[in-house]
Amino acid sequence: MWESDADLLARVDKSKLPRHVAIIMDGNGRWANGRGLLRNAGHTAGVKTLKKILQTAVNLKLEALTVYAFSTENWKRPHTEVEFLMHLFSDYLEREKREMHENNVRIKFLGRTEDFSPALQKLMRDSAELMKNNTGVKFNVAADYGGQDEIVRVARKLARQAAAGELSPEDISAQIFADELDTAGQPPVDLLIRTSGEMRLSNFLLWQTAYAEFWFTDTPWPEFTPEQFVDALIDFGNRSRRFGALN
């Protein structure tokens, strides 16, 4: 750990940390364009930021970190950008999986996988398998993920069970539903961070953010720092969360 990291961690009151932080890593393209670079250069820079933020989460012993890497709507981007993101994703997993494993990170993928190339699907499966018994940060990478798509998948599964007589519709509860989500067994999102000045949820973790606190910054994702990440966590610790009740 760098000394500056130790200083950073010392700023945090561990008892007030969120259990689950989700991040919409937005602004890669605009950051690159603003520098006269191609959008893909922004995504490459974004991966470097992700590495630093995951390391900070590991140092802080966060319980869960979820990042939005590729949405179900991102297929609508130009083919060359989609191809580049796929390449970056597989390159990232190939390069980082060993270090993640050494850091006791447990990676999991949220979303659909069937439209990814067989090689990428295998890499995702192998990475998850390698880390499945790890007990550190639960690192969820949302890839070909959409919150509505996830909810529809669960609804279909439960409807099939009901039609087969295995489940009574009256028995379907919020808990039974949550147990079928891609995040089953993980705490709901406490804090949602979005970079680059946009203030939308963009079909991310619709169910899991029901009571999340939101934290926005104008900083584009490639320039987002561990210091800002810690600022967001400290800010979260000062929020009054009532979950619909009174204080």
| 88 contacts ligand FPP (rule: CB under 6 A) | yes
Q: Does 47 bind ligand FPP (CB under 6 A)?
A: yes
Minimum gap (Å) between residue 95 Cβ and ligand FPP: 10
Contact flags string 91-130 toward ligand FPP, x per CB under 6 A? -x--------------------------------------
Using CB atoms, what's the residue nearest to ligand FPP? Answer: 29
Active site residue 7: no
Minimum separation from the CB atom of position 143 to ligand FPP (A): 7
Does residue 149 carry a catalytic annotation? Answer: no
Token pair for residue 230? 């810690």
**Gap between the Cα atoms of 210 and 188, Å rounded:** 8
Q: Residue 18 and residue 57: Cα distance in Å, rounded?
A: 11
60, 94 in Cβ contact below 8 A?
Answer: no
According to the binding rule CB under 6 A, does residue 192 interact with ligand FPP? no
Candidates 142, 144, 147, 167; CA nearest to 157 is 167
Within 13 A of 162's CA, how many CA atoms are on the CB side? 12
Q: How far is the CB of 149 from ligand FPP (least distance, A)?
A: 16
Could you give the CA distance from residue 25 to residue 233 in angstroms, rounded to a whole number? 16
14/48 with CB nearer ligand FPP = 48
